[in-house]
Structure 1
Amino acid sequence: MKEKLESLSVSELLYRAYQLEPEKEVLFDGYSRMTYGELMDQSCLLAASLQKMGISKGDRIAVCLPNWNEFVVIYFAAAHIGAVIVPFNTRYRMYEVQYNIRNSGAKLAFFTNEFDGVNHMEQFLEAKENVTSLKQLITVRYKADQLESYEQIIKGEEVCTSFNRTAVNPKKDVFTILFTSGSTGSPKGAMLTHANVVMTAIKTAEQMDCTAEDVFFVSVPVFHVFGMVPSILSAVSVGARMVLLDEYKPEKALSLTESEKITVKHGVPTMFILELNHKNFHQYDLSSLRTGIIAAAPCPVEIVKRIRQEMGCEIMVAYGLSETSPTLTMTSFSDSDVVRAETVGKALPGAEVKIVDNNRNEVMNGEVGEIACRSFGVMKGYCNMPEHTKAVLDEDGWFYTGDLGTIDIEGNLRIVGRKKEMVVRGGYNIYPREIEEVFYQHPDVMEAAVVGLPDTVLGEISCACITLKPHSQMDEKDLFQFIRERIADYKVPDKMIILDEFPMTASGKIKKISLREELIENLEGELR
């Protein structure tokens, strides 16, 4: 049965769950509830409408929505017709939206009017004017003149189950393109096939012993790989139920955990820290909790202990990237608190992980090197970036992550650092080079360096250090205003410092390690 499941497409995986129990509730997003039968009906209606609009196999569909049931319907509608879903972070600004549309070649976009303080309507209207591939705009949960709405599209007089379902080759055909910024500063679209996401979803669910009785809490964003695969698709793979939270608030998360009897709770460490430390934490009955995944940032051993003891949740720690769909390694129920906190467990069955040196030769256990992997979840490649793909994916299928780690004698992977200078702030990846290049667009900026600083709540925060050109009158407030208008809010540096000069190497490069050490020492009283 397992082998048969793993050979299915995303569409076929939903169809199997629908056939088993069509009347069972599949999701609740705080606004409405939906059964597997209703999800199948609505996704088929939408798929038929998309076909009438000219969307066919391989076409890209941009989706910029929070954790709403419409995202899930679009997710499976795209799968039914072999279209490729391209999720957009709801915090993206104009440059990011247009770059991703242009790179992916998206023909159609779903978006809401405003969310997270961002005017999506304005951004997508302008994108349609500037990017030739984008032909159609569809609004969700609001109506606009001269634009079609999601509500109009899925209203059909009859339930459409006999549309032209498109056959896909799960191992070759792309299901989603997930944009992930790189150390080069240029976002790259990781192309994940149906087999990548289906197999990863199934194996992740198996590692957690998930069944149809489980209730998944989806508080991580659905536009992120953590929400798309180990959350949405893992739940569907076992015929479970999902509860979606569109705007994370710790007390709301605690309340839903109690009222909806959540059993599988995924999150980044910051979410668990905020809930455990909430003043009303002990007022909530969390006895339904069984397990879940904590990922995307290091988690202190004290927090792992508190999740297990105070929440009664056998939490698992996982590691992966967008390029690996994402789950690559996971701890197990038998692992101790220390193993769960200090390592990210072992490779999932069917996946391989090794540590290599700068020449990509495997090193001995315990030695630090770059983490390389070969698995069912490794992407097909980067969209329209063959050279970038070739740089990280070799002919034997090994993907080189850019992360540094060690493997102990028991096979547990330990993350040591990052070859890329990525900052992980509350589970969000921030790539310094991308932000630095935006600063360099300002005529008064001479040099810019963004580094991560330790933070007990978010894991890391970002700090931008700037040197200005002679006679500039700019101050930190001006720089904040400049950068805030150009990038997503979670990428905006938490701290801004104007320096007279940077510590430099003999070759003229900024010594970021020295800079970070100096900042930690000088800001000791300000850091949490």
Structure 2
Amino acid sequence: MRDWKALLTQFDPEAAARYREAGWWRDRLLVEYVEDVAAEAADRTAVIDARGEITYGELGDQAEALASGLTRLGVTPGAVVSAQLPNWHEAVVLAVACSQLGAVLNTISPIFRERDIATMLRLAEPTVLIVPDAFNGFDHAAAVLRVLPALARTPSVAVIGAAPEGTVRWTDLLAGPAVDLPARPHPDDVAQLAFTSGTTGEPKGVLHTHNTLIASASSYDERYEIGPEDVIHMASTVGHQTGILFGITCPIVAGSAAVLQQSWNPVQFVELVEKHRISLTNGAIPFLTDTLHADNLDGQDMSSLRVFSCIGAGLPQALAEEAGRRLPTTKLVGGWGMTETGLAVTNLLTDTLETVCTVDGRPVPGAELRILDEMFVEDLPAGSEGHLVVRGPQRHLGFLQPGLSQANFLEGDWYVTGDRGYLTEAGDFVMTTRSKDIIVRGGENIPVAEVENLLLAHPSVAMVAVVAVPDERLGEKACACVRLEPGASFDFAGMEAWLRDHQLTKQFWPEYLKVLEGFPTTPSGKIQKFVLRDRMVSEVTAS
């Protein structure tokens, strides 16, 4: 078993003491929050999925039974339990059971197939792997059995549904005899191994503790005043950090109900809002775009939806204004975050629509941001773009790959995010671009996020990504890849006219335009730019 402590980048002792004193590190486990609600209101709904719902009392009982089942399979404190599950209540039961056992939870998105699964399992070295028999037409059980011979360490495989020979049925894990469980983990022990979702290629293994995960969830709950009366919707996969934090941890910490949508469908989402009186949802900008275009939006009661959180990119003004008209009782907010830092920046409920569209937000309670110069030494003044570094109680403690920590941490607990932006005089953060997405054209940095947001505001454009393609004279040129609205048209001349009319510096105009049917995306809906970039390089070179 790994020595997890050897992989951690420890917080400065004074900072750790400050986090505890402020209540950001609560020294509590996820299972304890479930037990608190179950003791007071066992019949309160905990999770709703496509197959039914369970109460907090049932969640606690099933997690306790699963903890015994995992122990019988050899799971001990510090052992990894990997899971490739859809947005089903079993994923929540597993998260609670792992927190009770001190097992390290490693979730994998259901969209991944054998090659990616094998890579993650080789890195994680789980004692147990949990999968559905099949989901969305794919036989997950058969796939993992094909992967196992390539692994140095073979995990036990538990299957939800029909279990092939050599695997264990999920129901048997829950129905088997109870065993003595180990002492509960310390809240500073590693609770999660989360692989980055693949925007730069090979995944990094991010390590979070019980304290850092709950700090991230509780800061979101505090910012948006989430309580037991709320119903939180999640369509991003629980195989990704967005789903883990905002579909599992946030609702449990707040004592509220979670509605897990197993596959994103805007028409179904609109129906779920009315049926379950959903009050908050969190997802990428395409989720909002799809919702506004849902055929049944005008015919459903959306009045319960008080917060629509769009994380990951600046909100285009035109889209936000449309949301204001179509969802008049819903507060639209944005934010910035990553697997390593949690959701570190969000808009406030009091922010105006103009503010939401122009800044990513304020640091959440406990989080701190700095903008550093190119040498990562000097702080830059307000309004000056530089490298974003972050620290706080929500920040991860290290990587599975030891060399990554040394390369990505600065003295004083500061994490180098790889993103660029600036702070306003008021203390709001504005992300300008990700460092890996910068396009350098003839020595001039093209502000990718600005170009993308401007193109996305065009009425014909539904989705956009600007990527670099090589150029012999200038080094790089920009290629705009767009997906159009149904029935719309958009050509190179129209793009140039739009950019000219909006007074974008001509050196920032893309030299290429590609109209696509769809984009390669990560499990959370973000565009995989490294895949798109490789494709555009091939197409532009061949043309």
* TM-score bracket relative to the smaller structure: 0.7 to 0.9
The residue aligned with 1:13 is 33
Q: Output one character per residue of 1:104-153: Cα deviation in whole Å (capped at 9) or x when no partner.
A: 22121111233345432233112211112232111112322231111221
- 5 Å-filtered alignment, 1:412-431, equals 412-421=428-437
Choose from 468, 476, 480 the match for 1:511. 476
In the aligned structure 2, how far is the partner of 1:150 from the partner of 1:519?
54
Choose from 276, 279, 289 the match for 1:273. 289
Report if the CA contact (8 A) 1:90-1:116 is conserved.
Answer: no
The residue aligned with 1:487 is none
- The number of aligned residues is 456
Letter in 1 for 2:274: E
2:334 is aligned with 1:317: yes
Report if the CA contact (8 A) 2:316-2:456 is conserved.
Answer: no
2:331 is aligned with 1:341: no
5+ long unaligned stretches in structure 1: 424-450, 466-501
In the aligned structure 1, how far is the partner of 2:42 from the partner of 2:352?
39
2:68 is aligned with 1:52: no
The residue aligned with 2:126 is 106
The residue aligned with 1:169 is 186
Going from structure 1 to structure 2, the CA distance change for 1:4 and 1:410 (only over 3 Å counts) comes to closer
- 5 Å-filtered alignment, 1:201-212, equals 201-212=217-228
The residue aligned with 2:464 is 460
In the aligned structure 2, how far is the partner of 1:190 from the partner of 1:17?
30
In the aligned structure 2, how far is the partner of 1:461 from the partner of 1:16?
45
Letter in 2 for 1:199: A
Choose from 257, 264, 279 the match for 1:263. 279
Report if the CA contact (8 A) 2:30-2:253 is conserved.
Answer: no
In the aligned structure 2, how far is the partner of 1:212 from the partner of 1:93?
37
In the aligned structure 2, how far is the partner of 1:174 from the partner of 1:292?
31
Superposed displacement of residue 235, structure 1: 0.8
In the aligned structure 2, how far is the partner of 1:342 from the partner of 1:165?
50
2:116 is aligned with 1:86: no
2:173 is aligned with 1:153: yes
Superposed displacement of residue 186, structure 1: 2.3
Letter in 2 for 1:152: D
Report if the CA contact (8 A) 2:316-2:454 is conserved.
Answer: no
Letter in 2 for 1:121: A
- 5 Å-filtered alignment, 1:200-279, equals 200-279=216-295
SS at 1:90 equivalent:
coil
Q: Output one character per residue of 1:466-509: Cα deviation in whole Å (capped at 9) or x when no partner.
A: xxxxxxxxxxxxxxxxxxxxxxxxxxxxxxxxxxxx41368xxx
The residue aligned with 2:141 is 121
Superposed displacement of residue 515, structure 1: 9.0
SS at 2:193 equivalent:
strand
In the aligned structure 2, how far is the partner of 1:113 from the partner of 1:86?
19
Report if the CA contact (8 A) 1:81-1:164 is conserved.
Answer: yes
2:303 is aligned with 1:299: no
Choose from 196, 211, 217 the match for 1:195. 211
Which moved further from structure 2: 300-309 or 44-53?
A: 300-309
Letter in 1 for 2:476: K
In the aligned structure 1, how far is the partner of 2:85 from the partner of 2:125?
19
Letter in 2 for 1:318: G
Going from structure 1 to structure 2, the CA distance change for 1:184 and 1:306 (only over 3 Å counts) comes to closer
The residue aligned with 2:369 is 353
SS at 1:373 equivalent:
strand
Report if the CA contact (8 A) 1:28-1:244 is conserved.
Answer: yes
2:390 is aligned with 1:373: yes
Report if the CA contact (8 A) 2:69-2:176 is conserved.
Answer: no
In the aligned structure 2, how far is the partner of 1:5 from the partner of 1:23?
29
Going from structure 1 to structure 2, the CA distance change for 1:285 and 1:353 (only over 3 Å counts) comes to same
SS at 2:334 equivalent:
strand
The residue aligned with 1:393 is 409
2:88 is aligned with 1:71: no
Report if the CA contact (8 A) 2:109-2:238 is conserved.
Answer: no
Letter in 2 for 1:49: G
In the aligned structure 2, how far is the partner of 1:453 from the partner of 1:134?
50
SS at 2:350 equivalent:
coil
Superposed displacement of residue 459, structure 1: 4.1
Which moved further from structure 2: 389-398 or 33-42?
A: 389-398
Going from structure 1 to structure 2, the CA distance change for 1:286 and 1:267 (only over 3 Å counts) comes to same
SS at 2:345 equivalent:
strand
Which moved further from structure 2: 123-132 or 401-410?
A: 123-132
Choose from 150, 154, 165 the match for 1:134. 154
In the aligned structure 2, how far is the partner of 1:179 from the partner of 1:259?
34
In the aligned structure 1, how far is the partner of 2:514 from the partner of 2:202?
33
SS at 1:144 equivalent:
coil
- Name the Cα RMSD after superposition: 2.9
Superposed displacement of residue 321, structure 1: 0.3
5+ long unaligned stretches in structure 2: 1-20, 440-451, 482-506, 519-543
Letter in 2 for 1:225: Q
Report if the CA contact (8 A) 1:307-1:314 is conserved.
Answer: no
SS at 1:293 equivalent:
strand
Q: Output one character per residue of 1:289-311: Cα deviation in whole Å (capped at 9) or x when no partner.
A: 12242112332123233334422
SS at 1:154 equivalent:
helix
Superposed displacement of residue 519, structure 1: 9.9
Superposed displacement of residue 165, structure 1: 4.8
In the aligned structure 1, how far is the partner of 2:367 from the partner of 2:244?
20
Q: Output one character per residue of 1:68-103: Cα deviation in whole Å (capped at 9) or x when no partner.
A: 011111111111100011111111122211111111
In the aligned structure 2, how far is the partner of 1:453 from the partner of 1:101?
41
Superposed displacement of residue 344, structure 1: 1.2
Letter in 1 for 2:162: Y
Q: Percent identity?
A: 23
Superposed displacement of residue 390, structure 1: 1.1
SS at 2:315 equivalent:
coil
In the aligned structure 1, how far is the partner of 2:166 from the partner of 2:454?
48
